[in-house]
Amino acid sequence: MKSSQVVRFITCTVGLILVAAGCTDTETETIFVDRPLFDDPPAAASGFLGYGTADAQVEKFTVCGNCHIGKQSEWELTGHSEAWDNLQNSGHAQSFCEGCHAVSENGNAAEGDAGWVATADTRYYDVQCESCHGPGAGHVSNPGAAQPLASIAVSLDGTNGCGECHQGSHHGFVDEWLQSRHGPIESNAGVRDRGGSCASCHEARGALLALGETADFVEKDGTENFAVVCSVCHDPHNVTNEHQLRFPVNVADVDRNLCMKCHQKRAVPEVDNSRGPHSPQGPLLLGEDVGWIPPNFDTNIVRGTHGSAQNEELCVTCHLFAREITDPVSGEFVFSSKGHLFKPIPCLDAQGVPVGTDCDVSERSFASCTGAGCHGDETVARGLYSLATLRIAGLVADLDAQLALVPLTEFDTEDGILTVAEGATFNAGLGEITSSAIHNPFLTEALLLGSMVAVEDAYGIAPRILPSEMAARWSEIGR
């Protein structure tokens, strides 16, 4: 295929005085130059075009880039554009790896051998546009008739989408994601029907829209529920943020931090809502705009949060802790964990592979607590977690006992007033969230203690905790 190109000649004249320099645009002649957009692809390639020409392959200029120049420019900066060389330079390249490091039937709706797998033609090196969008020959021939849309579906046995390549022992993203709470778990069912703020975090289409993504994809107009799939957090084209994330993860701002875009809901009590905290992890981690602040409560006394400046990666430091697992006997490679369980202290199977949190805390791995240099070893981290959990659970029980004696008239969500009892109840709910003992144990404990004092002052109901012990707790928190 060839196209014509108009060439304009610009003649410049420079005066003897430097400030008089200037150019005059004179179109002296129009020349039509034939240049090949792409060579015809091999018949066995099943309509995949790839780089198109030998020169384009050197320049990493896809056939798609002839029209979609903006996306071409973005793609050139991604790891996908270096996929073939990265494999060859890895030191462990195998032929069965090549289908995922080149344009092929993997990652798109094509069936049977196609692209590189069918032809071994170098024009299909790297993970190009067609790797996700499918063969482009039909679209090039009649752009209006065929729109090769990518799929956002994710599974281990699917024949489309990210999961066809990003799985397995070396690239176990989907393997772990399926076990995570971001995956297609039962609690996500029906979220799309509820819509609103629920769908903006619990359902892929709603979340993408909330994050500002309006591009088309195969499932965009479907009705089935989609969990928080890869493309919700990762932008296939944009490399502004590391790992092609849609927003940064290393900013202490709940409105800009990717994780906190969702993990900041109902962090403070609402006057007309009796429900407790929903997903306050971001504000709690940062120690800002979280919980009910009792009268005369000084937040400046609270020290020691995991959201401090020393933890630059914030949520990611613990929740996306990556590790290489080797067989304890032979030392051979077993699995590359990418942290996509999103569990900071997971249980491990017999070989050391993270498998969730359904085990006793004594059996869970606290390696993420030591990987960033925060705690000396796992035993120390486990002990601190267990102690904080017990202390906070005890305070919650004491506060609940106080609140049980408060008149029911103090829990009226229709009076437009946030009473001390309602605020203290919210803080008790904050303490009941298991992760409070990790995200910010000091602030959580201080809010519970402050709530007890406020309840006693407002209603004359003393807490079960002894005054001397309460004073000691305050001293510890403020130290």
* Residue 273 pLDDT exceeds 80: yes
Residue-averaged pLDDT of the chain: 88
End-to-end alpha-carbon separation of the chain, Å?
74
Q: Provide the 10 A C-beta neighbour count for residue 56.
A: 20
Q: 214: burial class by Cβ within 10 Å (0-12, 13-18, 19+)?
A: exposed
pLDDT band at 27; cut points 50, 70, 90: low
CB 148 within 8 A of CB 133: yes
User: Mean pLDDT throughout 262-276?
Assistant: 93
Tens of pLDDT, residues 119-165: 999 999 999 999 999 999 999 999 988 789 999 999 999 899 999 99
pLDDT at 12: 35
Beta bridge partners of 326: 333
208 closest CA partner among 233, 225, 191, 186: 233
Instruction: Return the exposure string of 309-321: e unless at least 16 CB atoms fall within 10 Å of the residue's CB, then b.
Output: eebeebbbbbbbb
- Cα–chain-centroid distance for residue 27? 52
What is the C-alpha to C-alpha distance for residues 380 and 389, in angstroms, rounded to an integer? 14
What does pTM read for this prediction?
A: 0.87
pLDDT at 11: 35
What is the C-alpha to C-alpha distance for residues 168 and 97, in angstroms, rounded to an integer? 11
* Residue 24 pLDDT exceeds 70: no
3-state secondary structure 326-373: ECCCCCCEEEEECCCCCCCCCEECCCCCEEECCCCHHHECCHHHHHCC
pLDDT at 31: 56
Helix ranges (DSSP H) in 154-293: 173-177, 191-194, 196-202, 204-210, 230-233, 281-286
What is the C-alpha to C-alpha distance for residues 60 and 86, in angstroms, rounded to an integer? 14
pLDDT at 8: 34
pLDDT at 478: 55
User: Mean pLDDT throughout 440-457?
Assistant: 94
pLDDT band at 188; cut points 50, 70, 90: low
pLDDT band at 74; cut points 50, 70, 90: very high
Better-scored residue on pLDDT, 81 or 310: 81
Tens of pLDDT, residues 76-132: 999 999 999 999 999 989 999 999 999 999 999 999 999 999 999 999 999 999 999
CB 440 within 8 A of CB 448: no
Instruction: Return the exposure string of 7-37: e unless at least 16 CB atoms fall within 10 Å of the residue's CB, then b.
Output: eeeeeeeeeeeeeeeeeeeeeeeeeeeeeeb
pLDDT band at 291; cut points 50, 70, 90: very high
pLDDT band at 30; cut points 50, 70, 90: low
pLDDT band at 195; cut points 50, 70, 90: low
pLDDT at 263: 96
What is the C-alpha to C-alpha distance for residues 437 and 445, in angstroms, rounded to an integer? 9
* Residue 202 pLDDT exceeds 60: yes
